[in-house]
Amino acid sequence: MRSEIDRFIAETTDTFLAPFHENLRVALSSETRLHGRAEEWDAALATIQSTTQASQFDSDTVSVGDPNADFEDVLSMFLPWRKGPFQVGKTLVDTEWRSDWKWQRISRHIEPLEGKQVLDIGCGNGYHLFRMLGAGADLALGIDPTILFNYQFSLFQRLSQPNRAYLLPLRSEHLPQFGGFDTVFSLGVLYHRRSPIDHLKELLSFAKPGGELVLETLIVEGDQNTLLIPRDRYAKMANVWFIPSTSMLELMLRRAGFIDVKTVDVNVTSLEEQRATRWMQFQSLEDYLDPTDKTKTVEGYPAPARAILTARKPA
């Protein structure tokens, strides 16, 4: 994982990110958490020889590694696998989420990424970073504090041809106000933040003037005054703080300083899109829903529905 941080610093010295390197080093030093399995995971990564094998980032299944090589044993050391799917050598990693379905919904509504520099907040193991490169992005930086996801990304990069996707183990509140990204993505993050307006203002500060925001988050039906604040858990998740209607969310984005705010997609999460697999054997969406009424969570709230919104930072 450390090597990926070093690669990011070395390969972005000629970009607008260079002046922020020292800030990021300080944040990484103070905020990166140690993990009890780090030694084991480092040893597993060391068994994989770096390669320049051609990778495929522009298809629903991101493919890395020699197609004749078997990486199943080492992949099994990094369970669970949440975002994908990935083809890693001979092994298809059928992840919990069909993240390709989300990308299909997103990609038809956003500005072309060709030649763009993009930021993905809460990017998990980097599946969407690779899809952004596949769509033509020049540079894709991801942020996610979960150490396991950073190791999974490191594994992919050891098996990939050289590319400009990067992942740092930080949270958005640890980042400087870059003010330079063409497109900023925040997918499945907002409802985990105790202060949603502050998160939206962070996202605004990361984009360049005229830059685009792509926001995906949980929503409920209702008007501009509708907001669900779970009493305790939502779909068994303890860290869901608020779920607004799309109308309220549009208002929040405008109050945070965005313009050209649009809701471009609303989708009820299906049991086919999020489910337990051989690569993620814990509870998943089916376990979070009322067994007698799949339109409700086990707590009695509306079942998860997600909206995609686009907006722009004033030029």
Full domain range(s) for residue 102: 2-312
Helices (DSSP H) in 47-163: which residue ranges?
A: 72-76, 99-107, 127-134, 147-158
Give the pLDDT score at 281. Answer: 95
Q: At 8, which CATH number?
A: 3.40.50.150
Give the pLDDT score at 52. Answer: 74
Name the residue among 183, 4, 169 with its Cα closest to residue 110: 183
Rounded to whole angstroms, the Cα distance separating 161 from 232 reads: 45
Q: Angle 259-264-265 (CA atoms, 0-180°, nearest 5)?
A: 145
Give the pLDDT score at 269. Answer: 98
Give the pLDDT score at 51. Answer: 79
Give the pLDDT score at 49. Answer: 87
Give the pLDDT score at 47. Answer: 95
260 and 250 Cβ atoms separated by less than 8 Å: no
Q: What is the mean pLDDT of each run of 10 residues along the chain (315 residues)?
A: 93 98 97 93 93 90 96 97 98 98 98 98 98 98 98 97 96 97 98 96 98 98 97 97 98 98 98 98 97 98 98 98
Count how many domains the chain has: 1
